[in-house]
């Protein structure tokens, strides 16, 4: 019991700064539509330290950052080439890179699923409330922040549920 309490305190040292930084990102992105480099850099550096200290695997942290960056940069670049303008700001690319340092490469797909789901609900709600909401830019950072928080705390549990559901679906067709 004492070991668990000490382990939770160790986790708390990282969780509090993460919560504060994510809250700042949400507030700033909603108000100004930017995700500041200074906070992204802080999140990235602390994410590398936190992931390594808590899970003992620096490479997973680096791979998470690289995977997040690569995926979002690809989307950023592709939409720029197709539409002539990017579908997101480069701050979102940097933000998912920082979040990737926290969650490792296994957490990035979960961030994408949760952020897309939350943003989808937001857009549906806004469209129902404001009939002229189509094609209006919105801050995606808050959805990434919430999804990053969830992924940091529940990555392994989420994958266990996903794999269990997958196994049940496969069982239906066997």
54 CB burial (10 A radius; 0-12, 13-18, 19+): middle
What is the extent of the structural domain holding 145?
Answer: 2-172
pTM score, two decimals?
A: 0.86
The DSSP call for residue 84 is S
pLDDT 10s digit of each residue in the chain, 174 long? Answer: 444 444 555 677 899 999 999 999 999 999 999 999 999 999 999 999 999 999 888 999 999 999 999 999 999 999 999 999 888 999 999 999 999 999 999 999 999 999 999 999 998 888 888 876 667 788 999 999 999 999 998 887 888 888 888 888 888 887
Find out whether 123 and 66 touch, Cβ atoms under 8 Å: no
Looking at the 3D structure of the chain, how many domains does it have? 1
């Amino acid at each position: 019991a004492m070991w668990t309490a000490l382990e939770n305190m160790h986790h708390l040292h990282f969780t509090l700064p993460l919560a504060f930084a994510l809250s700042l990102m949400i507030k700033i992105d909603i108000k100004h539509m930017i995700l500041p480099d200074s906070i992204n850099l802080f999140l990235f550096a602390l994410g590398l330290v936190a992931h390594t200290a808590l899970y003992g695997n620096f490479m997973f942290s680096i791979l998470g950052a690289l995977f997040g960056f690569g995926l979002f940069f690809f989307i950023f670049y592709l939409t720029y080439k197709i539409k002539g303008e990017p579908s997101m700001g480069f701050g979102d690319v940097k933000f998912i890179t920082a979040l990737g340092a926290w969650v490792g490469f296994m957490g990035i797909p979960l961030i994408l699923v949760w952020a897309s789901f939350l943003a989808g609900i937001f857009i549906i709600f806004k469209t129902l409330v404001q009939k002229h909401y189509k094609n209006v830019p919105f801050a995606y950072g808050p959805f990434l922040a919430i999804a990053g928080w969830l992924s940091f705390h529940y990555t392994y549990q989420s994958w266990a549920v996903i794999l269990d559901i997958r196994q049940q679906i496969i069982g239906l067709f066997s």
